């Protein structure tokens, strides 16, 4: 079994379309017994379509459910929001294949140096031709949502505050 790592660049991709594509790859790989992995880079540049006030209100509602000790825990960082979105599309609580699939997902803020330019052996660029569309009229980036939730934006802006 050849193990492959698919690399997706989230820059300009709609969050839900990307998450459903990645979840589909992960669950099919997990059920067939392969160990394919998925890496998503530039998580802060993924977009959520809709009016910015409505999108911010939706994410604030989710984040307001947080309790410091009891949960449910909803993330503020863009990489963790994207991973949580993919997790919602996997049967991670019901089946071991869903938990195994989630372990094979890695989401990065920015682009690590070893994944920029030519990809290493065993890595290939994920096919985003079906999910890459023109930008919608109204959208908000995941980085802006995280900043609105109070996440430390210096993590992806390189010191700009």
Provide the pLDDT for residue 160: 56
Number of domains in the chain: 1
Classify 139 as helix, strand or coil. strand
Per residue of the chain (161 residues), give pLDDT as tens.
Answer: 568 899 999 999 999 999 999 999 999 998 888 888 999 999 999 999 999 999 999 999 988 888 878 888 889 999 999 999 999 999 988 888 888 899 999 999 988 877 777 778 888 888 888 888 888 889 999 999 999 998 888 877 765 55
Alpha carbons within 13 A on the beta-carbon side of 91: 8
- Going from the C-alpha of 20 to that of each of 54, 66, 71, 79, the distances in angstroms are 22, 25, 25, 16
Output the CA angle 36-38-43, nearest 5 degrees. 175
Contact 123, 76 (CB under 8 A): no
What pTM was computed for the model? 0.89
- Please state, in angstroms and rounded to a whole number, the distance separating the CA atoms of residues 18 and 7: 12
Q: What is the CATH number of the domain that holds 148?
A: 3.90.1180.10
How many other C-beta atoms can be found within 10 angstroms of the C-beta atom of residue 81? 25
Give the structural domain span for 29. Answer: 5-157
């Amino acid at each position: 079994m050849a193990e492959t790592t698919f690399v997706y660049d989230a820059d300009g991709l709609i969050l839900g379309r990307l998450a459903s594509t990645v979840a589909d790859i992960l669950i099919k790989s997990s059920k067939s017994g392969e160990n394919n992995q998925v890496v998503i880079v530039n998580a802060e540049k993924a977009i959520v379509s809709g009016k910015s006030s409505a999108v911010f209100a939706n994410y604030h509602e989710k984040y307001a459910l947080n309790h410091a000790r009891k949960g449910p825990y909803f993330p503020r960082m863009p990489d963790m929001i994207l991973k949580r979105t993919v997790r919602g599309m996997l049967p991670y609580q019901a089946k071991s294949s869903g938990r195994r699939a989630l372990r094979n997902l890695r989401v990065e803020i920015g682009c690590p140096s070893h994944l920029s330019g030519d990809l290493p052996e065993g890595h290939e660029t994920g096919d985003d031709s079906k999910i890459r569309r023109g930008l919608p009229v109204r959208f908000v980036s995941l980085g802006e949502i995280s900043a609105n939730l109070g996440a430390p934006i210096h993590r992806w802006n390189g010191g700009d505050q």
